[in-house]
Chains A and B, each alone.
Chain A
Amino acid sequence: MTANRLAESLLALSQQEELVDLPKDYLLSGSEDEGDNDGEREHQKLLEAISSLDGKNRRKLAERSEASLKVSEFNVSSEGSGEKLVLADLLEPVKTSSSLATVKKQLNRVKSKKTVELPLNKEEIERIHREVAFNKTAKVLSKWDPVVLKNRQAEQLVFPLEKEEPAIAPIEHVLSGWKARTPLEQEIFNLLHKNKQPVADPLLTPVEKASLQAMSLEEAKMRRAELQRARALQSYYEAKARREKKIKSKKYHKVVKKGKAKKALKEFEQLRKVNPAAALEELEKIEKARMMERMSLKHQNSGKWAKSKAIMAKYDLEARQAMQEQLAKNKELTQKLQVASESEEEEGGTEEKVEELLVPDVVNEVQMNADGPNPWMLRSCTSDTKEAATQEDPEQLPEPEAHEVSESEGEDRPVAEEEILLREFEERRSLRKRSELSQDAEPAGSQETKDSSSQEVLSELRVLSQKLKENDQSRKQKASSEGTIPQVQREEPATEEEEPLLLQRPERVQTLEELEELGKEECFQNKELSRPVLEGQQSERTPNNRPDAPKKKKKEQMIDLQNLLTTQSPSVKSLAVPTIEELEDEEERNQRQMIKEAFAGDDVIRDFLKEKREAVEASKPKDVDLTLPGWGEWGGVGLKPSAKKRRRFLIKAPEGPPRKDKNLPNVIINEKRNIHTAAHQVRVLPYPFTHHWQFERTIQTPIGSTWNTQRAFQKLTTPKVVTKPGHIINPIKAEDVGYRSSSRSDLSVIQRNPKRITTRHKKQLKKSSVD
Chain B
Amino acid sequence: MKVKMLSRNPDNYVRETKLDLQRVPRNYDPTLHPFEVPREYVRALNATKLERVFAKPFLASLDGHRDGVNCLAKHPKNLATILSGACDGEVRIWNLTQRNCIRTIQAHEGFVRGICTRFCGTSFFTVGDDKTVKQWKMDGPGYGEEEEPLHTILGKTVYTGIDHHWKEAVFATCGQQVDIWDEQRTNPICSMTWGFDSISSVKFNPVETFLLGSCASDRNIVLYDMRQATPLKKVILDMRTNTICWNPMEAFIFTAANEDYNLYTFDMRALDTPVMVHMDHVSAVLDVDYSPTGKEFVSASFDKSIRIFPVDKSRSREVYHTKRMQHVICVKWTSDSKYIMCGSDEMNIRLWKANASEKLGVLTSREKAAKDYNQKLKEKFQHYPHIKRIARHRHLPKSIYSQIQEQRIMKEARRRKEVNRIKHSKPGSVPIVSEKKKHIVAVVK
- Chain A contacts for B39, CB-based, 8 A: 704, 706
Knowing A723-B336, A726-B79, A728-B77 touch, does A680 contact B37 (C-beta < 8 A)? Answer: no
Knowing A129-B230, A751-B189 touch, does A726 contact B207 (C-beta < 8 A)? Answer: no
Nearest A residue to B43, CB-CB: A704
Knowing A704-B43, A726-B336, A750-B229 touch, does A745 contact B376 (C-beta < 8 A)? Answer: no
- Judging by beta carbons under 8 Å apart, are B248 and A732 in contact? yes
Report Cα–Cα, A726/B339, bound state, in Å: 11
Tell me if B30 counts as interface (CB < 8 A to partner A).
yes
Report Cα–Cα, A708/B434, bound state, in Å: 45
- Pick from B37, B76, B253: contact of A699, CB below 8 A: B37
- Judging by beta carbons under 8 Å apart, are B190 and A127 in contact? no
- Judging by beta carbons under 8 Å apart, are B445 and A134 in contact? yes
Query: Smallest Cβ distance from B236 to chain A, in angstroms?
Result: 15
Contact with A along B198-237 (1 / 0, CB 8 A): 0000000011111100000000000101111111110000
Query: Smallest Cβ distance from A157 to chain B, in angstroms?
Result: 7
- Judging by beta carbons under 8 Å apart, are B227 and A680 in contact? no
Contact with A along B240-277 (1 / 0, CB 8 A): 00000000111111000000000000001100000000
Query: Smallest Cβ distance from A693 to chain B, in angstroms?
Result: 14
- Pick from B156, B193, B338: contact of A768, CB below 8 A: B156
Tell me if B373 counts as interface (CB < 8 A to partner A).
yes
Interface size class of A (residues with CB under 8 A): 35 or more
- Pick from A131, A730, A745: contact of B168, CB below 8 A: A745
- Is the contact region of chain B dominated by helix, strand, or loop, or is it mixed? loop
- Judging by beta carbons under 8 Å apart, are B232 and A130 in contact? yes
Nearest A residue to B196, CB-CB: A760
Q: Which stretch (A229-237, A280-288, A516-524, A709-717) binds chain B?
A: A709-717
Q: Which stretch (A93-101, A135-143, A643-651) binds chain B?
A: A135-143
Knowing A130-B231, A134-B233, A702-B37 touch, does A747 contact B170 (C-beta < 8 A)? Answer: yes
Nearest B residue to A753, CB-CB: B229
Report Cα–Cα, A714/B370, bound state, in Å: 10
- Chain A contacts for B372, CB-based, 8 A: 717-719
Tell me if A608 counts as interface (CB < 8 A to partner B).
no
- Chain B contacts for A728, CB-based, 8 A: 76-77, 79, 292, 335-336
- Judging by beta carbons under 8 Å apart, are A703 and B33 in contact? no
Tell me if B177 counts as interface (CB < 8 A to partner A).
yes
Candidate in B30, B168, B177, B232 with the most chain A CB atoms within 10 angstroms: B232
Contact with B along A723-748 (1 / 0, CB 8 A): 11111111111100000000001110
- Chain B contacts for A723, CB-based, 8 A: 293, 336-338
Interface size class of B (residues with CB under 8 A): 35 or more
- Pick from A129, A725, A764: contact of B338, CB below 8 A: A725
- Judging by beta carbons under 8 Å apart, are B193 and A758 in contact? yes
Tell me if B377 counts as interface (CB < 8 A to partner A).
yes
- Chain B contacts for A755, CB-based, 8 A: 189-190, 229
- Chain B contacts for A683, CB-based, 8 A: 385
- Chain A contacts for B169, CB-based, 8 A: 747
Tell me if B159 counts as interface (CB < 8 A to partner A).
no
Tell me if A698 counts as interface (CB < 8 A to partner B).
yes
Tell me if B180 counts as interface (CB < 8 A to partner A).
yes
- Chain B contacts for A425, CB-based, 8 A: none
Tell me if B375 counts as interface (CB < 8 A to partner A).
yes
Tell me if B383 counts as interface (CB < 8 A to partner A).
yes
Tell me if B41 counts as interface (CB < 8 A to partner A).
yes
Report Cα–Cα, A159/B226, bound state, in Å: 29
- Judging by beta carbons under 8 Å apart, are A750 and B227 in contact? yes
- Judging by beta carbons under 8 Å apart, are B225 and A747 in contact? no
Query: Smallest Cβ distance from A74 to chain B, in angstroms?
Result: 56
- Pick from A144, A732, A733, A750: contact of B189, CB below 8 A: A750
- Judging by beta carbons under 8 Å apart, are B383 and A682 in contact? yes
Tell me if A49 counts as interface (CB < 8 A to partner B).
no
Contact with B along A659-700 (1 / 0, CB 8 A): 000000000000000000001111100100000000000111
Query: Smallest Cβ distance from B255 to chain A, in angstroms?
Result: 15
Query: Smallest Cβ distance from A609 to chain B, in angstroms?
Result: 29
- Judging by beta carbons under 8 Å apart, are A144 and B177 in contact? no
Tell me if B386 counts as interface (CB < 8 A to partner A).
yes
Q: Among residues 8 to 35 in chain B, which have CB atoms less than 8 Å away from a CB atom of chain A?
A: 21, 28, 30, 33
- Judging by beta carbons under 8 Å apart, are B386 and A680 in contact? yes
Q: Among residues 341 to 371 in chain B, which have CB atoms less than 8 Å away from a CB atom of chain A?
A: 369
Tell me if B166 counts as interface (CB < 8 A to partner A).
yes
- Judging by beta carbons under 8 Å apart, are A144 and B252 in contact? yes
- Judging by beta carbons under 8 Å apart, are B337 and A729 in contact? yes
Contact with B along A334-353 (1 / 0, CB 8 A): 00000000000000000000
Tell me if A756 counts as interface (CB < 8 A to partner B).
yes
Report Cα–Cα, A753/B229, bound state, in Å: 9
Knowing A137-B225, A747-B182 touch, does A721 contact B230 (C-beta < 8 A)? Answer: no
Tell me if A133 counts as interface (CB < 8 A to partner B).
yes
Query: Smallest Cβ distance from A578 to chain B, in angstroms?
Result: 28
Tell me if A761 counts as interface (CB < 8 A to partner B).
yes
Report Cα–Cα, A728/B377, bound state, in Å: 29
- Chain A contacts for B229, CB-based, 8 A: 750, 753, 755-756
- Judging by beta carbons under 8 Å apart, are A732 and B249 in contact? yes
Query: Smallest Cβ distance from B113 to chain A, in angstroms?
Result: 20
- Judging by beta carbons under 8 Å apart, are B386 and A679 in contact? yes
- Chain B contacts for A733, CB-based, 8 A: 207
Report Cα–Cα, A141/B269, bound state, in Å: 8
Report Cα–Cα, A128/B175, bound state, in Å: 25
- Judging by beta carbons under 8 Å apart, are B40 and A729 in contact? no
- Judging by beta carbons under 8 Å apart, are B383 and A686 in contact? yes
- Pick from B21, B191, B230, B293: contact of A157, CB below 8 A: B293
- Judging by beta carbons under 8 Å apart, are B232 and A141 in contact? no
- Judging by beta carbons under 8 Å apart, are B373 and A704 in contact? yes
Query: Smallest Cβ distance from B159 to chain A, in angstroms?
Result: 14
- Pick from B226, B335, B369: contact of A750, CB below 8 A: B226
Query: Smallest Cβ distance from A738 to chain B, in angstroms?
Result: 14
- Pick from A126, A747, A765: contact of B187, CB below 8 A: A765
Report Cα–Cα, A757/B229, bound state, in Å: 9
- Chain A contacts for B211, CB-based, 8 A: 137
- Judging by beta carbons under 8 Å apart, are B385 and A731 in contact? no
Report Cα–Cα, A751/B384, bound state, in Å: 60
Query: Smallest Cβ distance from B310 to chain A, in angstroms?
Result: 11
Report Cα–Cα, A144/B187, bound state, in Å: 34
Tell me if B49 counts as interface (CB < 8 A to partner A).
no
Tell me if A542 counts as interface (CB < 8 A to partner B).
no
- Judging by beta carbons under 8 Å apart, are B336 and A727 in contact? yes
- Chain A contacts for B21, CB-based, 8 A: 710
Report Cα–Cα, A148/B252, bound state, in Å: 10
Can you report 28 A-B residue pairs in the complex whose CB atoms are below 8 A from each other? A136-B225, A137-B211, A138-B268, A144-B208, A144-B250, A148-B250, A148-B251, A681-B384, A683-B385, A686-B383, A703-B377, A706-B39, A707-B33, A719-B372, A723-B338, A724-B336, A728-B77, A728-B336, A729-B248, A729-B336, A731-B206, A732-B294, A734-B207, A745-B167, A747-B182, A749-B227, A753-B229, A756-B229
| Given A133-B228, A732-B248; 12 other pairs, CB 8 A cutoff | A140-B208, A141-B269, A144-B252, A681-B384, A682-B385, A703-B40, A703-B373, A729-B248, A729-B293, A732-B249, A753-B228, A760-B193
Tell me the B residues contacting A by CB distance below 8 Å: 21, 28, 30, 33, 36-37, 39-41, 43, 76-77, 79, 156, 165-170, 177, 180, 182, 187, 189-191, 193, 206-211, 223, 225-233, 248-253, 268-269, 292-295, 335-338, 369, 372-373, 375-377, 380-381, 383-386, 445
